[in-house]
Amino acid sequence: MPRLMTAIGMAVVGASGWGQNVVRAFYLARGSALRWVCDLNPLLLTGIEQRFSGVRTTPAFDRLLGDPEVRAIAIAVDAPNHHALAKRALEAGRHVFVEKPLALTATDADELCALADRRGLTLMVGHLLLYHPAVERAKALLDAGDLGDVLYLYAQRVNLGIVRQSENAWLSLAPHDVAVAIHLFGECPISVSATGATYLQRDREIQDVAFATLRFADGRLAHLHVSWLDPHKRRSLTVVGTRKMLTFDDTLPDEKLKIHDRAAVPRPGHTTYAEGVVVRVGDVLSPFLPGVEPLLVECEHFVACVASGSRPRSDGRQGAAVVRVLEAGARSMRAGGTPVQVASDGSMNVAAARLAEGSGAGDAKQDGGLRVPATPTST
């Protein structure tokens, strides 16, 4: 990416947890001039001033909006506050980067997208994995047809901790893999069937584990397993095609992406399994991947899109699609795993409606929104 002629004045809201990384990334990003960091915790702000020369701090969001040199604002606070802060920033004429999820309801997500469109502003969601070189390479392989017809994928995002108090494992962890599935398949699923369970915070009804199956209109599936109550640390993805398969393990120090020249080829007309299915086993290739930090790539992508007016890879519409899937998954969990249709662009998806007929999903689809316990915000 060439260095931009004029730096984009940036502000970051939220300096705790992941927000610290967002602050650092926008401070280092090419084309970015980080001017402000906003947070309610004075100790965090003191640390920011010591680490990042020239960056001013404030507990007041209005200070950011009052600075005409701030052209864009990155929001890295707790999810229940994403919509309100993003809306205020867009209404004030600022380009906005929002950490995942974009909002807690599809209605709120659509409102932000419409507002950004009306104002001609860039709205981008922090779906980090879309900027990982392994996912970029996987997308290129799928689009080129190297795997043949893609049949299904499955992903695991599990660990022992970090246990959240303001959102469940589905809302906290699944956005990553939902975004990847939509990105790789190039479309939004038509239905979600999900189950989850609460073990650690039963009084708060915060699910510690969730399993979900996303069904796409052409028959492809994506199965997701997320949990912060698991003995293993796994960040893995497997994609199965008719010609080849690929695996991505983000916990490995190198050779994260592998392409497996393996397939099972049906042979119609044979009576036995041995005759009717030919299993082919070939080489395993681990392609070279550039050693870049996905977060820095993501932040530089946002800055470049603000400067050029181009559409971000993970724009507001893509973020809203992820919210629809999360919303459908939450409704399915409350309905005991009943498949729930995923609306498209705020309207009924006809294929999903037909799939849901007779399944009982109609009883579950009306209860919208992602439920999170009300907690004080720390911006």
pLDDT at 212: 98
**Domain 8-128+294-310: assigned CATH number:** 3.40.50.720
Closest CA to 157 of 244, 238, 254: 238
Q: How far is CA 309 from the centre of its chain?
A: 22
| Structural tokens at position 123 | 């709205």
Angle at CA of residue 209, ends 207 and 214, nearest 5°: 105
CA–CA separation, 300 vs 376, rounded Å? 31
Residues of the chain with pLDDT under 50: 1-4, 346-367, 372-379
pTM for this prediction = 0.88
3-state secondary structure of 41: coil
User: Per residue in 126-142, pLDDT tens?
Assistant: 999 999 999 999 999 99
130-291+323-363 is a CATH 3.40.50.300 domain: no
CA–CA separation, 55 vs 113, rounded Å? 29
CA–CA separation, 270 vs 249, rounded Å? 37
CA–CA separation, 16 vs 44, rounded Å? 7
Q: Where are the domains of the chain?
A: 8-128+294-310, 130-291+323-363
pLDDT at 279: 85
CA–CA separation, 222 vs 357, rounded Å? 21
pLDDT at 271: 64
The C-alpha R_g of the chain, in whole angstroms, comes to 22
CB atoms within 10 A of CB 46: 11
Q: In what order do the strands lie in the sheet with 277-285?
A: 277-285, 257-266, 245-249, 229-241, 150-160, 221-227, 209-215, 191-197, 340-341
H-assigned helices in 77-190 = 82-91, 106-119, 133-144, 169-185
DSSP 8-state class, residue 188? -
3-state helix, strand, coil in the chain (%, to 5): 35, 25, 35
Half-sphere exposure in the Cβ direction for 95 (13 Å, CA):
25
State in Å, rounded, how far the first CA of the chain is from the last one: 32
CA–CA separation, 287 vs 281, rounded Å? 18
Cis previous bond, 290, omega within 30: no
